[in-house]
Amino acid sequence: MAGAMAAAAAGGMLLLLRRGRPPPGLGPAPRRYRYKEKWAATAPRIPPTRLALHHFDVTYSLQLRDQWPSVRAGLLCEQKYGALLNNFSAVRHVAQELELLNATDFVSPAPKKEAGRGDGVSPEGSGEGRTAARAETVTRAETSPPLRASIRSNIRCYTFPRGDITRFRPARPDTLGLLDYYLMDAASLLPVLALNVQPDDFVLDLCAAPGGKTLALLQTGICGHLAANDVSISRTKRLYQILHSYVPREIRETVRVTSYDGRDWGQLEGGTFHKVLVDVPCTTDRHSVMEQDNNIFHRRRTKERQMLPMLQLQLLMAGILATKPGGEVVYSTCSLSPLQNEHVIERAVEVAETQYNISVQVEDLSHFRMLFQDTFSFFSDCRLGELVLPHLTANFGPMYFCKLRRM
């Protein structure tokens, strides 16, 4: 310790010398040249992206085993986007323009595929690779009625085929200034599709900003009672901007935008919504390995990162409490971490039962893998819910989503 401090002091002296400060041997430097050497300043600076990658190498290699190198490569390469068509825009022929470029809409064909699925018949491969624990947890869900109308065909989202890394042109405004499409990680649409919004549903988007999923909910054309909340005022401003750029005034004025702490929502308006989307803050794995700015692996954010699963659980509990009996909650993250995904679901089911006497059932979404396997690479061994894995040929995600029904 003393040696290290001496070295630090020597380092400080060297700095002073380099800057041409008073030469040594002439007594203490004038007060204005003195400063305290801080440990934080002498500790090696490891960029947060490297810390994130190291953390993921340790944890995800155990979880994903021989798939990790491929997922890792995907995370470190340019991600792919989807173009969510804006049904409110008057720009014509956007779909034809995208189809000429060989892009296809992955959402619209889904209802047909789903109709082709027999009632009660498990989708091809749905049981593959599932662990015994998962099979136990969803037994009740698998016997519940299948999600008949889960895919709303009004949503159209174009992607380029696997292996095609063409980029979309920037969005264009129509004569009223509404943009023709919204570029997003196409996997972000899956939680919205899983929410299965029906006409007259009261819908809550609990962590809504910057608003990609809120916009997708509005694109269903049937989401007339939508509340969009986000605790961050600055991010809520971005949500307003997106609504302004994509949604006509008469529709956006129907959206109730608030900036509450979502954890309080259950007490504010418990039991009022048919559908609740809980798209929680998470380690945003792709961002964490690629961007230094606003990186949750920054040393000064260690505590915040460690507390994420607790925050996620509290937000999910608030979402469950905000739901009417019989209503549904979709929980989602853009992380591969089981601690932020399945574990949060398991804890929430337990807390709902023991602390609130609310029975919550995990719904089976394995048919999503069958419906969207051409577009996304799904993890076949996710204990609860579904997980889209980044892959070099289909570089979307990570996106975890799981659906709960309040009984």
Ligand X SMILES: C[S@@+](CC[C@H](N)C(=O)[O-])C[C@H]1O[C@@H](n2cnc3c(N)ncnc32)[C@H](O)[C@@H]1O
Bridge-based pairing of strands 157-159 and 104-105 is: antiparallel
Instruction: Give the tokens for residue 368.
Output: 């999503």
Q: How many positions of this chain bind ligand X (CB under 6 A)?
A: 17
Instruction: Give the tokens for residue 91.
Output: 């720009």
Q: Give me the torsion for CA of 56, 59, 63, 68, rounded to 10°.
A: 30
104 contact partners, CB below 8 Å, separation of at least 6: 158, 159, 161
Give yes or no for residue 94 binding ligand X (CB under 6 A).
Answer: no
Give least dist CB 33 to ligand X, A: 43
Instruction: Please choose, out of 78-86, 119-127, 152-160, 202-210, the segment that lies near ligand X by the rule CB under 6 A.
Output: 202-210
Give yes or no for residue 397 binding ligand X (CB under 6 A).
Answer: no
Write out the binding residues for ligand X, residues 346-385 only, by CB under 6 A.
none
Between CA 184 and CA 83 the distance in angstroms is: 7
Q: What angle, rounded to 10 degrees, do the helices at 233-246 and 212-219 form? A: 30
Between CA 24 and CA 52 the distance in angstroms is: 43
Work out which of 213, 286, 369, 403 binds ligand X, going by CB under 6 A: 213
Cβ atoms 136, 180 nearer than 8 A: no
Instruction: Please choose, out of 12-20, 166-174, 204-212, 395-403, the segment that lies near ligand X by the rule CB under 6 A.
Output: 204-212
Give yes or no for residue 285 binding ligand X (CB under 6 A).
Answer: no
Instruction: Please choose, out of 132-140, 153-161, 201-209, 320-328, the segment that lies near ligand X by the rule CB under 6 A.
Output: 201-209
Instruction: Please choose, out of 133-141, 210-218, 294-302, 373-381, the segment that lies near ligand X by the rule CB under 6 A.
Output: 210-218
Distances (CA, A) of 174 to 89, 154, 155, 352: 6, 20, 19, 47
Give yes or no for residue 313 binding ligand X (CB under 6 A).
Answer: no
Give the per-residue contact string, 221-250, with ligand X (x = CB under 6 A; - = no). Answer: ---------xxx--x---------------
Between CA 105 and CA 153 the distance in angstroms is: 10
Q: How far is CA 202 from the centre of its chain?
A: 22
Give least dist CB 263 to ligand X, A: 5
Given the complex with ligand X, which of 93 and 244 has the nearer CB atom? 244
Given the complex with ligand X, which of 158 and 182 has the nearer CB atom? 182
Q: Tell me how far apart the terminal alpha carbons of the chain are, to the nearest angstrom.
A: 59
Between CA 157 and CA 103 the distance in angstroms is: 10
Instruction: Please choose, out of 74-82, 84-92, 205-213, 266-274, the segment that lies near ligand X by the rule CB under 6 A.
Output: 205-213
43 contact partners, CB below 8 Å, separation of at least 6: none
Q: Give me the torsion for CA of 387, 201, 141, 157, rounded to 10°.
A: -30
For residue 394, give the nearest of 111, 71, 97 by alpha carbon.
71
Give the per-residue contact string, 244-283, with ligand X (x = CB under 6 A; - = no). Answer: -----------------xxx---------------x-x--
Tell me, yes or no, if 207 is annotated catalytic. Answer: no
Write out the binding residues for ligand X, residues 69-88 only, by CB under 6 A.
none
Between CA 155 and CA 157 the distance in angstroms is: 7
Give least dist CB 238 to ligand X, A: 8
Given the complex with ligand X, which of 64 and 278 has the nearer CB atom? 278
Write out the binding residues for ligand X, residues 171-190 only, by CB under 6 A.
188
Give yes or no for residue 336 binding ligand X (CB under 6 A).
Answer: no
Given the complex with ligand X, which of 70 and 260 has the nearer CB atom? 260
Give yes or no for residue 322 binding ligand X (CB under 6 A).
Answer: no
Given the complex with ligand X, which of 68 and 181 has the nearer CB atom? 181
What number of CA atoms fall less than 13 Å from residue 184's CA on the CB side? Answer: 23
Catalytic residue among 157, 207, 282, 334: 334
Binding site for ligand X (CB under 6 A): 188, 207-213, 230-232, 235, 261-263, 279, 281
Which positions are annotated as active-site residues? Answer: 334
